[in-house]
Amino acid sequence: MQLAGITIKSPFVAAPMAGVSSPPFRLLSARAGAGLVYTEMVSAQGLLRRQPQTVAMARVLPEERPVALQLFGQEPEAMAKAARQVAAMPVDLVDVNMGCPARKVRRQGAGSALLDEPARAAEILRAVVENCPQPVTVKVRLGYQRETLDEVLPGLIAAGASAVCLHARTVAQGFGGRADWSAIARLKSWCPLPVIGNGDVRSARDALAMLAETGCDAVMIGRAAMGDPWIFSRARDLLAGRPARSVSLRQRRAALWEHAELARRLSGEGGAVHFMRQFMMWYAKGLPGATEFRRLAGPVRDLDLLLRLAGEFFDALEQAA
Ligand SMILES: Cc1cc2nc3c(=O)[nH]c(=O)nc-3n(C[C@H](O)[C@H](O)[C@H](O)COP(=O)(O)O)c2cc1C
CA of 231 to the centre of ligand 1 (A): 16
pLDDT over 90 at 269, yes or no: no
Active site residues: 100
Residue of 12, 17, 219, 279 with the most ligand 1 atoms within 8 Å of its CB, for mutation? 17
pLDDT over 90 at 275, yes or no: no
pLDDT over 90 at 274, yes or no: no
CB-CB contact of 217 with 19 (8 Å): no
The Cα 135–Cα 70 span in angstroms is 12
In this predicted structure, what is the pLDDT of residue 87?
A: 97
What residue owns the CA closest to ligand 1's atom 10?
A: 16
97: β partners: 139
The Cα 193–Cα 68 span in angstroms is 17
Give residue-wise pLDDT tens across range 287-307: 999 999 999 998 999 999 999
Q: What is the mean pLDDT of the chain?
A: 96
Looking at residue 162, its amino acid is S
Residues 265-273 have a mean pLDDT of: 87
CA of 22 to the centre of ligand 1 (A): 13
Closest CA to 28 of 287, 289, 251: 251
Looking at residue 218, its amino acid is A
pLDDT over 90 at 321, yes or no: no
Give residue-wise pLDDT tens across range 180-201: 999 999 999 999 999 999 999 9
Helices 76-87 and 118-129: angle between axes, nearest 10 degrees: 30
CA of 222 to the centre of ligand 1 (A): 6
| Percent residues over pLDDT 90 in the chain | 95
Query: Residues near ligand 1 with C-beta < 6 Å?
Result: 15-20, 40-41, 70, 97, 99-100, 139, 167, 198-201, 221-224
Domains of the chain: 2-239 (3.20.20.70), 249-320 (1.10.1200.80)
The Cα 65–Cα 56 span in angstroms is 17
Query: Which atom of ligand 1 approaches the CA of 169 most closely?
Result: 22
Cis previous bond, 66, omega within 30? yes
In this predicted structure, what is the pLDDT of residue 138?
A: 98
pLDDT band at 259 (very low <50, low <70, confident <90, very high): very high
Residues 15-39 have a mean pLDDT of: 97
What residue owns the CA closest to ligand 1's atom 26?
A: 222
CA of 40 to the centre of ligand 1 (A): 9
Give residue-wise pLDDT tens across range 207-240: 999 999 999 999 999 999 999 999 999 999 999 9
Chain centroid offset of residue 300 CA = 27
- Tell me the residue ranges of DSSP E strands in the chain: 2-3, 6-7, 12-14, 36-43, 67-72, 93-98, 136-141, 163-167, 195-198, 218-221
Q: Where are the alpha helices (DSSP H) in 44-114?
A: 44-48, 52-57, 76-87, 103-107
What residue owns the CA closest to ligand 1's atom 28?
A: 17
In this predicted structure, what is the pLDDT of residue 267?
A: 87
Helices 204-214 and 231-239: angle between axes, nearest 10 degrees: 50
CB-CB contact of 97 with 74 (8 Å): no
